[in-house]
Amino acid sequence: MSLNGLFPIEKWMFSTRYVLDMLNEQDCAFLIGRQDIEKYKKGEMVFKEGMVPSGIYYIHSGKVKKYKKGPTEKEHIIYVANKGELIGYHAVLSEERHQDSAAVLEDSLISFIPKEDFIEVLQRSPQFAISLLKALSHEFTVFANNISAFADASAAERLAIALIIFREKSKLGLCYGEPIVINISRSDLAGIAGIAKENVIRLLKEFKSEGIIKTQGRKIWIQDIEKLVRRSNRN
């Protein structure tokens, strides 16, 4: 079921997947097509907070979490990047060290793009540069929305929002009518929602008893998206 009219999903999703649409065939091949594709296993690091960036990354398949760790080493997941998205460009553009870390949530295929190649394409493609600037501006809107919404949201509302967002990300590449499976650990789900893992486990049982979801191991299926949206209190 579509979220149109139910939930403002665009306020919670980055738009870097559409940035590459601005590139002509030659520049796209230069930036993406000629780079090696590396296999990353679930849990493997892509880059770490504090590292000096030497390039950016393009996700061919899989999902990558961008996160920061607090004083207690608890992960706060800032964003989950999908197939077709770029990551790591903030540090390259600002000429600073990485301000967060990135690790794969599932087996993924990722290309490393040297900083020099990225900057060269930016300089010769004004459309690409403008599109990236728009994407960065939209990211600020997403972050502001997250801060505002989570500031006064209950644990149940936060988890509902996290499930809605991850459901949308899990739809990518599926055929019409194919079941949408959310495959994520309870720890990572807690990191996205910003609540304790114990609360995630308790609330998932609650959602299950209400007929909102069904689960099998770490897999989650949304049975009633309308009820979940009502639980999020963001419709």
Average pLDDT over residues 43-65: 96
For the chain, give every residue range classified as CATH 1.10.10.10: 153-232
Would you report the helix, strand and coil content of the chain in percent, each value rounded to 5? 45, 20, 35
C-alpha 54/C-alpha 4 separation (Å) is 40
**3 state SS of 90:** helix
- Residue 221 confidence (pLDDT): 97
The per-residue pLDDT for 225 is 94
Which pLDDT band, with edges at 50, 70 and 90, does 2 fall under? low
What sign does the CA torsion over 148, 154, 159, 160 have? negative
What is the DSSP-derived secondary structure letter of residue 62?
S
Q: What CATH class is the domain 9-148?
A: mainly beta
Mind listing the pLDDT tens digit for each residue in 174-184? 877 788 999 99
Residue 182 confidence (pLDDT): 95
| Whole-number pLDDT of residue 235 | 64
- Taking the C-alpha atoms of residue 107 and residue 62, their distance in angstroms, rounded to an integer, is 6
CATH 2.60.120.10-classified regions of the chain: 9-148
Place of tokens 């760790």: 69
Tell me what pLDDT residue 30 has: 95
**pLDDT on residue 151:** 80
Q: How far is CA 204 from CA 50, 139, 195, in A?
A: 35, 29, 13
Q: Is the pLDDT reported for residue 60 higher than 90?
A: yes
| In 51-114, alpha helices (H) | 89-94
Q: State the first-to-last Cα distance of the chain, in angstroms, to the nearest integer.
A: 15
Q: CB-based contacts of 60: which residues, under 8 Å, 6+ apart?
A: 37, 83, 108, 109, 110, 111
pLDDT exceeding 70 applies to what percent of the chain? Answer: 98
What SS3 class is residue 214? Answer: strand
Correct CATH for 153-232 of 2.60.120.1360, 3.40.190.10, 1.10.10.10, 1.50.10.10:
1.10.10.10
Q: State residue 16's pLDDT score.
A: 81
19, 86 Cβ separation under 8 angstroms: yes
Mean of per-residue pLDDT scores for the chain: 92
Q: Can you tell me the distance from the alpha carbon of 196 to that of 155, in angstroms, rounded to the nearest whole number?
A: 9
